[in-house]
C-alpha cells in the first residue's frame, strides 16, 4: 500500500509516518514541496504518486490570527480540502481528513457526538467546518482536539519552558476538553482507514480536563522526570481574564464511543499518554 501524507512535517504528519503499518510506502509533502491550494499542482502530484490512501494532516491552525485573515484560513482549511479530495477521488484513492472540536460552540453539557449540531464560534472553526463539507461523503473525517507530540510547538512543551522561566503560571480553568497524544491519534487513523471507514468520527485520548488541569499534570510529570528543578504555582484563571481574538468553546469534550467500538477499545487516559510523552522528552530532548 502507498500512502501520501500532506502536512508531513507537523505533529500528526510525523506521527502518521512513525506508526504506519509494515510494508507501507510513505510519501510526505509539506508547504515547501506542495501548495495544496493550487489545484493543478495537487492533481499533477497525485497522478505521479498514485497513492492508495491520502491523509490530509495540513491545516491553518493559527486560531487567533485567522480572526483577521479568514480568507487565508479558508483557502487552506476548506478550498484545499476540496482540491485534495477531488484529486484522490479521481484516481480511486481513499481520503482521510482531520478536523477539530472547534466546529462546536461549547454550550453542551454532555460530550458531542459526531452527529451533534455544529455552531463554530471562530474563523478557524468556520473554515474547518467548511473543509469537512468539501471532503465529501466518501471521505473519512476524524475530529480531534488539544493535540500534542514529542516535537513541535505545543502546550506541553510551552508549559515546561515557562515553568522553568517564570515564578508563576496562570492558566485558563474554564475551558474543558481532552488532550490528544499525536502518535495515538495517528495509530487510530491508520486503523480506521484500514477498515475502509467513511463518514464522521471523533478521537481524543480518554478522560476530561481543563487547561489548568493539564498544566498541573504537566508540572507533576515533568518534576518526576527531572525536566524541572522546582515547582511553581499554577494559578487557575477564567477565560475572561485571558481574552483572545478568537472565541474558544468552553466545553468541547467529544463523544468517542463509536470510534472506540470500531477500534476495539478505548484510547488510553490522557494522563497516561502525558507520562509517555514526558518520558520521551526526558530521553530524547
pLDDT in tens, 206-261: 999 999 999 999 999 999 999 999 999 999 999 999 889 999 999 999 999 999 99
Residue 285: predicted pLDDT:
67
User: 124, 148, 203, 251: which is the annotated catalytic residue?
Assistant: 124
Asked if 60 contacts 72 with a C-beta cutoff of 8 angstroms, the reply is yes
CATH topology assigned to domain 2-284:
Rossmann fold (3.40.50)
Judge whether 124 counts as a catalytic residue.
Answer: yes
Question: What is the mean pLDDT, run by run of 10 residues, along the chain of 285 residues?
Answer: 94 95 93 93 94 96 95 97 97 97 95 97 98 97 96 91 95 97 97 97 98 97 95 96 93 97 97 95 81
Residue 98: predicted pLDDT:
98
Radius of gyration, CA atoms only, the chain: 19
Amino acid at each position: 500500500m502507498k500512502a501520501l501524507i500532506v502536512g508531513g512535517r507537523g505533529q500528526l504528519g510525523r506521527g502518521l509516518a512513525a506508526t504506519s503499518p509494515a510494508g507501507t510506502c510513505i510519501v510526505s509533502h509539506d508547504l515547501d514541496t506542495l501548495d495544496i491550494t493550487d489545484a493543478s499542482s495537487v492533481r499533477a502530484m497525485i497522478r505521479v504518486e498514485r497513492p492508495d490512501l491520502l491523509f490530509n494532516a495540513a491545516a491553518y491552525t493559527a486560531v487567533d490570527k485567522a480572526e483577521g485573515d479568514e480568507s487565508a484560513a479558508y483557502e487552506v482549511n476548506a478550498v484545499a480540502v476540496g482540491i485534495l479530495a477531488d484529486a484522490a477521488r479521481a484516481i480511486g484513492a481513499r481520503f482521510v481528513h482531520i478536523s477539530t472540536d472547534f466546529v462546536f460552540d461549547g454550550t453542551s453539557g454532555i460530550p458531542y457526538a459526531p452527529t451533534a449540531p455544529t455552531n463554530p464560534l471562530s474563523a478557524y472553526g468556520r473554515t474547518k467546518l467548511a473543509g469537512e463539507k468539501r471532503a465529501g461523503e466518501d471521505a473519512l473525517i476524524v475530529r480531534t482536539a488539544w493535540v500534542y507530540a514529542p516535537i513541535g510547538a505545543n502546550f506541553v512543551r510551552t508549559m515546561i519552558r515557562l515553568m522553568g522561566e517564570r515564578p508563576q503560571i496562570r492558566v485558563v480553568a474554564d475551558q474543558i476538553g481532552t488532550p490528544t497524544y499525536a502518535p495515538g491519534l495517528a495509530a487510530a487513523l491508520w486503523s480506521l482507514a484500514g477498515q475502509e471507514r467513511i463518514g464522521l468520527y471523533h478521537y481524543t485520548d480518554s478522560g476530561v480536563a481543563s487547561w489548568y488541569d493539564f498544566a498541573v499534570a504537566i508540572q507533576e510529570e515533568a518534576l518526576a522526570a527531572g525536566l524541572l528543578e522546582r515547582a511553581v504555582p499554577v494559578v487557575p484563571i477564567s477565560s475572561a481574564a485571558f481574552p483572545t481574538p478568537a472565541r474558544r468553546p468552553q466545553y468541547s469534550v467529544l463523544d468517542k464511543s463509536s470510534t472506540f467500538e470500531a477500534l476495539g477499545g478505548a484510547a488510553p487516559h490522557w494522563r497516561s499518554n502525558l507520562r509517555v510523552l514526558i518520558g520521551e522528552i526526558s530521553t530524547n530532548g
